[in-house]
Amino acid sequence: MMNATENINTWITHLSAKAKMSISVDCVIFGYDEEGLKVLLIDCNMPSYEGKKSLLGDLVEVNETLENAVTRVLQKRTTLTDLYFEEVKSYSDPDRHPLGRVITLAYYSFIKISDYKIHDTEDKHLEWISINEIPDLAFDHQKILEDCYLRLKKKIRTHPIGFSLMPKKFTLMQLQNFYEAVLQIKFDRRNFRRKLNSLDLLIDLEEIQDNVSHRPAKLYSFDFKKYNQLLKSGDLNFAL
Amino acid sequence: MMNATENINTWITHLSAKAKMSISVDCVIFGYDEEGLKVLLIDCNMPSYEGKKSLLGDLVEVNETLENAVTRVLQKRTTLTDLYFEEVKSYSDPDRHPLGRVITLAYYSFIKISDYKIHDTEDKHLEWISINEIPDLAFDHQKILEDCYLRLKKKIRTHPIGFSLMPKKFTLMQLQNFYEAVLQIKFDRRNFRRKLNSLDLLIDLEEIQDNVSHRPAKLYSFDFKKYNQLLKSGDLNFAL
DNA sequence: TCAAAAGTGTTCAGCGTACACCCATGC
DNA sequence: GCATGGGTGTACGCTGAACACTTTTGA
């Protein structure tokens, strides 16, 4: 125990080896395709959790930031770079990991499943699982997933993080299906369309769907350029 | 480097001593009194930061959670227990601390300054500094403080975390002054009062101020009981 | 001609915002 | 009686929510 004035930010002169521990990052990798919202999970073979699935994670190396570690995990598991991700919170129960003291920081990411390629044969125990069919997970990963999903749902209503998961050209119905799948709520079609039009961030491509056995829908793309301008200038209120 | 399937959540059987590091918590302790919003800072005497002030923080012990560590720091510095606090985010630049690799998690708390007692004479280098007069801080604490202040401002508009900092009996003007000091914006008096009344969470104590050289104001208290009931039942929309 | 999805307008209620005058008290 | 802060009401514009019918295409 330290005396009243010693602490990490004032008087101490060295870091005790005894108080050192392992840090990990755990990533809830959300993915979307026409079937809906899914999460990338891996089989866990650690004693006492055998047969369960877990999130993707790894230990943080001594010379990298947490963000570096997340980038590394995401790249290794999806082969994709420059992915969006966000920190959610820490999990630090001393008994949370059977191998010893491991504090973890939870992050979530969100990708288009069709962009994802199975990386190598050893990754065959990796699987996309529908958000509605998540099994019991190893460690405290159930809680981590819940917390990250809540954050995603909050974030996606105020930030256009979903548009990079759309096809380059999409219909308003595809967009609505996406939001309904992620948020697990239904929108009124007319109100949804009016809302999106009023944002004035969709580009009408003046093209229509082809080879559909019903009235073809107009195609749109998202105006990332305009969005970034509005973001910088500060007068943006994106909300769904 | 691990092979493609090894990671903290699957195959490894032991934690490498090499990858262990120190974790700290840093607390932005916000305080409020009639003078406004302040932050509790301490003198930093660490070489290269001498003369600067820093946040309150400490290393996390091997057998405690981050929340335990925060509770410990808050209790030591304020002598108060059961304080509200919230995790904000991690700071993990490998070079952020001169003594070595220290990852820190930032938390903020919020207390009534009049409840705070100087704990012992060694703490004389502790000081409440107005939010508008924060000097250059040691380490990355400037950034941490900014991030925590943004979070506080967001939180306080949707959660009644401010009411425990009010006197037991308060006037609507005192309440408005509090929100204006924390958020650094002005509210229209009539609209503020209407808003608070419409929440229906204030108890009209049917008492008035005494010994004031103007029309005495009515006194109110916050109905924590009703708030918690509404919170549980789910149909609560507290927003300012 | 039928099935299937696309597209379109209006009404209503609630909420945030802007704004100006009289009231009660101590000195 | 005056200085000081306490207390009150109205009007307007925006936004979210509810709701049903016609259009276009391929089969």
pLDDT in tens, B173-200: 999 999 999 999 999 999 999 999 999 9
Instruction: Kindly list the distances between the CA atom of residue A38 and the CA atoms of A113, A150, B182, in Å, as whole numbers in the listed order.
Output: 9, 14, 40
A10 closest CB neighbour out of B9, B45, B63: B45
CB within 8 Å of chain A, chain B residues 140-179: 141
CB spacing of A9 vs B42 below 8 angstroms: yes
**Which chain B residues contact residue A102 at CB under 8 A?**
8, 15
pLDDT in tens, chain B (240 residues): 444 457 888 888 889 988 999 999 999 999 999 999 999 999 998 888 999 999 999 999 999 999 999 999 999 988 899 999 999 999 999 999 999 999 999 999 999 999 987 655 555 689 999 999 999 999 999 999 999 999 999 999 999 999 999 999 999 999 999 999 999 999 999 999 999 999 999 999 999 999 999 999 999 999 999 999 999 888 788 999
Mean pLDDT computed over A46-69? 95
Phi and psi torsions of B64, nearest 5°? -130, 155
Does any CB of chain B come closer than 8 Å to the CB of residue A78? Answer: no
Strands A53-54 and A202-208, how do they pair?
unpaired
Instruction: Tell me the CA–C1' distance in angstroms for A182 and D17.
Output: 21
* Pairwise CA distance, residues A137 & B19, whole Å: 26
- What letter represents residue B114's amino acid? S
User: The tokens of A222 are what?
Assistant: 């998202």
Tell me: the pLDDT tens digits for A138-169? 999 999 999 999 999 999 999 999 999 999 99
Q: How many CA atoms lie within 13 A of A58 on its CB side?
A: 24
Mean pLDDT computed over A26-55? 94
**Which chain A residues contact residue B73 at CB under 8 A?**
7
CB spacing of A10 vs B120 below 8 angstroms: no
User: The tokens of A155 are what?
Assistant: 């974030």
- The pLDDT value recorded for residue B169 is 97
* C-alpha torsion A43→A44→A45→A50, nearest 10: -100
Q: How many CA atoms lie within 13 A of A24 on its CB side?
A: 26
Does any CB of chain A come closer than 8 Å to the CB of residue B124? Answer: no
- The pLDDT value recorded for residue A2 is 41
Mean pLDDT computed over A124-139? 93
Strands A22-33 and A56-59, how do they pair?
antiparallel
Q: By three-state DSSP, how is residue B154 classified?
A: helix
Residue-wise burial string across A96-126, b where 16 or more C-beta atoms lie within 10 A, e elsewhere: bbeeebbbbbbbbbbbebeebeeeeeeeeeb
Who's near B163: CB < 8 A, 6+ residues apart? B222, B224
Nearest to B172 by CA among B139, B195, B146: B195
Instruction: Tell me the CA–C1' distance in angstroms for B185 and C17.
Output: 15
Nearest to B180 by CA among B198, B192, B171, B190: B192
Nearest to B150 by CA among B178, B113, B175, B184: B184
B210 touches strand D (CB under 7 A): no
Sketch out chain A's domains with CATH numbers: 19-156 (3.90.79.10), 161-233 (1.10.10.10)
pLDDT mean across residues, chain A:
93
Instruction: Tell me the CA–C1' distance in angstroms for B238 and D5.
Output: 28
Phi and psi torsions of A143, nearest 5°? -65, -40
Does any CB of chain A come closer than 8 Å to the CB of residue B74? Answer: no
Instruction: Tell me the CA–C1' distance in angstroms for A188 and D18.
Output: 9
pLDDT mean across residues, chain B:
93
* Residue A122's pLDDT band (cuts 50, 70, 90): low
Residue contacts between A and B (CB atoms, under 8 Å):
168
Who's near A202: CB < 8 A, 6+ residues apart? A196, A220, A221, A222, A223
Does any CB of chain B come closer than 8 Å to the CB of residue A58? Answer: yes
Whether B74 contacts B82, CB under 8 Å: no
CB spacing of A63 vs B87 below 8 angstroms: no
Whether B35 contacts B133, CB under 8 Å: no
Instruction: Kindly list the distances between the CA atom of residue A9 and the CA atoms of B34, B49, B236, in Å, as whole numbers in the listed order.
Output: 29, 10, 40
Q: By three-state DSSP, how is residue B121 classified?
A: helix
